[in-house]
Amino acid sequence: EDQVTQSPEALRLQEGESSSLNCSYTVSGLRGLFWYRQDPGKGPEFLFTLYSAGEEKEKERLKATLTKKESFLHITAPKPEDSATYLCAVQVTYGGATNKLIFGTGTLLAVQP
Amino acid sequence: DGGITQSPKYLFRKEGQNVTLSCEQNLNHDAMYWYRQDPGQGLRLIYYSQIVNDFQKGDIAEGYSVSREKKESFPLTVTSAQKNPTAFYLCASSLRQGALQREQYFGPGTRLTVT
């Protein structure tokens, strides 16, 4: 069964304290991995797409990497405004011609000033 | 500004009533999706549509219905047959994929409470 697991469930950091969030997956036929940020009561905001092992993407203090079994979202010198839930989703083939996303349950990040 | 709008933001209904959630996009995306989000669970796919006048069931379609009469619009009806309708509902859209999946963009969500 296709599955996406995110860890830790929650993470509390001090401002400036770098860390990483993990997204591990077991799927048949990965077609892409996506990272989203979600603020409370709002829709997810797209951050990155990764397609193949070894690929890396960066945006401000965030850097996403991908291996054959997992992805990491590295947060360098985080600020309080980085506090949010970070969602990982894996794209798999669904119904023949359609791709669907399987989402993890997210990591709730809190950055203390 | 291009984007996805969902209305209303909050919706309250009595048990046994059908309710329709609105989703409109002006991104010129072909594909549109409905998800539901519950505490402690990942987003789950309800219905999706790749083109106008065509849609398919997702993983949890029972008790829901949709229509896709226009490219910009993909309304979701939560019927009285849905056993646990209280949830946060998210609409998304994406460019129609070729060899690679393009990212999905999400609306702000509708929080439905049924009592």
pLDDT at A97: 57
Candidate from B97, B105, B108 with C-beta closest to A42: B108
A106 touches chain B (CB under 8 A): yes
**CA-closest candidate to residue B72, choices B20, B108, B31, B19:** B31
* Cβ-based contacts of A29 with chain B (< 8 Å): none
**In this predicted model, what pLDDT tens digit does every residue of B37-86 receive, in sequence order?**
998 888 999 999 988 999 999 999 999 999 999 999 999 999 999 999 99
Which amino acid type is present at position A24?
S
Pairing of strands B10-13, B110-114: parallel
CA distance B81 to chain A (A): 25
d(CA B16, CA B80): 5
| Contact between chains at B101 and A41 (C-beta distance less than 8 A) | no
d(CA A31, CA A40): 29
**pLDDT over 70 (residue A96):** no
**CA-closest candidate to residue A76, choices A23, A21, A6:** A21
| Contact between chains at B109 and A98 (C-beta distance less than 8 A) | no
A46 touches chain B (CB under 8 A): yes
| Contact between chains at A42 and B45 (C-beta distance less than 8 A) | no
pLDDT at A7: 97
d(CA B110, CA B78): 12
Mean pLDDT, rounded, of chain A: 93
**In this predicted model, what pLDDT tens digit does every residue of A15-62 receive, in sequence order?**
999 999 999 999 877 888 999 999 999 999 999 999 999 999 999 999
